[in-house]
């Protein structure tokens, strides 16, 4: 390696070490390191939006890679939601390069969709990063979701009518992606308030892009953010919220136990034909137990990455419980047929 390159590398390394001398940044980094050390393999990737959250995450991930000799990839997605999104993505890439963070810009094709734009863009952003991760044989994607996001997502899902599982699912530090079960999302900053990430971003790279949609009242997230702000004035605290979330998680774990028990006791898997026979007692359990059990089995037999839509599962269960008609039904790559006191779930692709 040339002397000039060695000098640049040493200068950059010293930059990160010096920033970690700041007690507040050091404390946040120590917590970050503790959260990811048991999860990340030799390489991982970071989803970068250019906002203060992801810029702070980029700093922390770079520190961790230097300290532990890990290979880390940084992916910036040009979402095409705004006319200047390409300029912003390339600017973020250029700024990160100044700090020896080399990133790739992934581009979403032009969006013609007029409703649920943010959800559509988010899903496509994950798909692009997941595809790159698979190419590079990476199974861990770090995101900058923080404490404020945790609370916001809870209320958003509550307003959309999510069940218990949906309400607490975002609280897990590590979870499989809905698009490919070989790839995991890691959220090491869920215990970190946004104000701490703003502090890191300002006192390290001192650069971020601002998303004007964060101030646009037509988006549900913005409305929820204002709702939470008002609730905080009336006494909502992070500790109270976490206590409620922890209690909900315990209830969810209890349900999961009985879901697996229902599957073990009241179904038989036939490996040779990739089919499942449900006993009469399978459908006689409490509604939530049956719903989750049935959804898991449909996903398994249909070999899908995501669960079937809840409304379709509910309608099919209602049909199986109420009819003596033995006609076949299909759902999510499966054929479902009732035979006297049992139900057979088989693959459409046999």
Residue 72 to residue 64: CA distance in whole angstroms:
9
pLDDT greater than 90 at residue 332: yes
Q: What is the chain's mean pLDDT, rounded?
A: 88
pLDDT greater than 70 at residue 272: yes
Confidence category of residue 2, pLDDT binned at 50, 70, 90:
low
Q: What is the pLDDT of residue 306?
A: 78
Spell out the residues 6+ positions from residue 329 whose beta carbon is closer than 8 angstroms to its own.
316, 319, 335, 336, 337
Is the fold of 3-236 the same as that of 264-347?
Answer: no
Confidence category of residue 236, pLDDT binned at 50, 70, 90:
confident
What are the residue ranges spanned by the domains of the chain?
3-236, 264-347
Q: What is the mean pLDDT of residues 103-107?
A: 92
Residue 191 to residue 148: CA distance in whole angstroms:
9
Residue 293 Cα to chain centre, angstroms = 22
Confidence category of residue 238, pLDDT binned at 50, 70, 90:
confident
Spell out the residues 6+ positions from residue 67 whose beta carbon is closer than 8 angstroms to its own.
33
Q: What is the pLDDT of residue 113?
A: 56
Residue 286: CB atoms within 10 A of its CB come to 10
Confidence category of residue 72, pLDDT binned at 50, 70, 90:
very high
Q: Domain 3-236 in CATH: superfamily? A: HUPs (3.40.50.620)
Residue 133: CB atoms within 10 A of its CB come to 23
Q: What is the mean pLDDT of residues 61-78?
A: 93
Residues 28/196, Cβ–Cβ less than 8 Å: yes
75 or 85, which is more confident: 75
| Among candidate residues 12, 9, 30, the one with its CA nearest the CA of residue 188 | 30
Confidence category of residue 4, pLDDT binned at 50, 70, 90:
low
Annotation: CATH topology of 264-347: 3.30.465
Q: What is the mean pLDDT of residues 43-71?
A: 94
């Amino acid at each position: 390696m040339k002397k000039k390159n060695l000098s640049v590398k040493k200068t950059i390394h010293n930059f990160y070490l010096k920033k970690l001398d700041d007690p507040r940044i050091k404390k946040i980094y120590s917590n970050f390191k503790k959260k990811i050390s048991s999860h990340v393999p030799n390489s991982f990737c970071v989803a970068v939006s250019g906002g203060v959250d992801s810029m702070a995450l980029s700093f922390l991930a770079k520190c961790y890679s230097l300290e532990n000799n890990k290979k880390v990839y940084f992916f910036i997605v040009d979402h095409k939601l705004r006319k200047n999104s390409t300029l912003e993505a390339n600017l973020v890439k250029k700024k990160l390069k100044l700090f020896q963070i080399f990133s790739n810009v992934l581009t979403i094709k032009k969006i013609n969709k007029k409703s649920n734009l943010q959800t559509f863009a988010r899903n496509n952003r994950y798909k692009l990063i997941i595809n790159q991760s698979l190419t590079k044989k990476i199974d861990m994607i770090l995101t900058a979701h923080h404490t404020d996001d945790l609370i916001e997502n809870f209320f958003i899902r509550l307003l959309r009518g999510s069940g218990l599982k949906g309400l607490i699912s975002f609280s897990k530090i590590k979870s499989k992606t809905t698009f490919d079960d070989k790839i995991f999302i890691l959220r090491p900053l869920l215990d970190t308030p946004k104000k701490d990430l703003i502090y890191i971003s300002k006192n390290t790279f001192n650069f971020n892009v601002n998303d004007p949609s964060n101030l646009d009242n037509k988006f549900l997230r913005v409305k929820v953010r204002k709702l939470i702000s008002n609730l905080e004035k009336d006494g909502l605290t992070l500790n109270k919220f976490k206590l409620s979330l922890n209690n909900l998680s315990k209830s969810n774990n209890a349900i999961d136990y009985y879901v697996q028990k229902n599957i073990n006791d009241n179904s038989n898997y036939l490996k040779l034909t990739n089919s499942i026979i449900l006993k009469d007692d399978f459908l006689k359990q409490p509604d939530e137990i049956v719903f989750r059990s049935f959804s898991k089995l449909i996903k398994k037999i249909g070999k899908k990455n995501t669960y079937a839509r809840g409304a379709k599962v509910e309608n099919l269960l209602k049909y199986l419980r109420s009819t003596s008609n033995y006609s076949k039904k299909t759902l999510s790559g499966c054929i479902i047929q009732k035979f006297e006191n049992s139900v057979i779930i088989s693959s459409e692709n046999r």
